[in-house]
Amino acid sequence: MKLVPRTKPIDADDNIGRGMDFALVILVFLGIGWALDRAFDTRPAFMIGCTVFSVVGQFARMWYAYDARMSQLESERSTELRSAPRASVVVEDLAYAPLVIPTEVGRDRSAEGAEGATA
């Protein structure tokens, strides 16, 4: 018997996971830049450079992951559309049927017959 409730596993594909990944990678590169600045006594240069490098890299990684996912979904959708049955209508039977246009649209023929009989 477990007394600890089950928690939802953290999915790396989840938005919260992506946000944490984004923040942690920037923090790691910021720390690397800080360490390089302390080692070479160039205060903000490496810290700024590593931070900008990490932000650009994260955006590029997110773009390529998004593009790959959208390509996968588009291919799945096109496969589903090709495999789905299509409704078809046979037009050949109706192609040569004569077109009938009623000449007395809106008139009531029973009313005309009644008027002619009384006059």
- The tens digit of pLDDT for each residue in 97-117 reads 667 777 776 666 555 555 555
pLDDT of residue 53: 98
CB atoms within 10 A of CB 89: 6
Q: Where are the alpha helices (DSSP H) in 10-99?
A: 15-40, 45-83, 92-95
> What residue type is assigned to position 83 of the chain?
S
Distance CA 43, CA 55 (A): 20
Q: Are 88 and 55 in contact (CB under 8 A)?
A: no
- pTM of the predicted model as reported, rounded to 2 decimal places: 0.59
**pLDDT per residue over 29-45, tens digit each?**
999 999 999 999 998 99
- Going by the DSSP 8-state scheme, the letter that residue 6 receives in this structure is P
Angle, alpha carbons 68-74-75 (nearest 5°): 90
